[in-house]
Amino acid sequence: PVCCCRPLPPRKTQAVKDQIGIPLIDTQHAGLFDTFARLQRSNSDETLSEILTKLGNQIQDHFHTEEILMRGMGLPDDMLHGHFSAHNTILEELAELHWHAMSGKAKTTDEVVTMVSAWVIQHLAEYDFGLKPYINGLTDSIHYSAAT
Reported as a single tens digit per residue, the pLDDT across 46-71 is 687 888 889 999 999 999 999 999 98
Reported as a single tens digit per residue, the pLDDT across 123-138 is 888 888 888 888 866 5
Please tell me the distance from the alpha carbon of residue 42 to that of residue 46, in angstroms, as a whole number. Answer: 9
Q: Does position 7 have pLDDT exceeding 60, yes or no?
A: no
Reported as a single tens digit per residue, the pLDDT across 63-111 is 999 999 998 888 899 999 999 999 999 999 988 888 887 777 767 888 8
Half-sphere exposure in the Cβ direction for 107 (13 Å, CA): 15
Give me Rg for the CA atoms of the chain.
15
Residue 45's pLDDT band, with cuts at 50, 70 and 90, is: low
Cβ(30)–Cβ(143) under 8 Å? no
Global pTM? 0.75
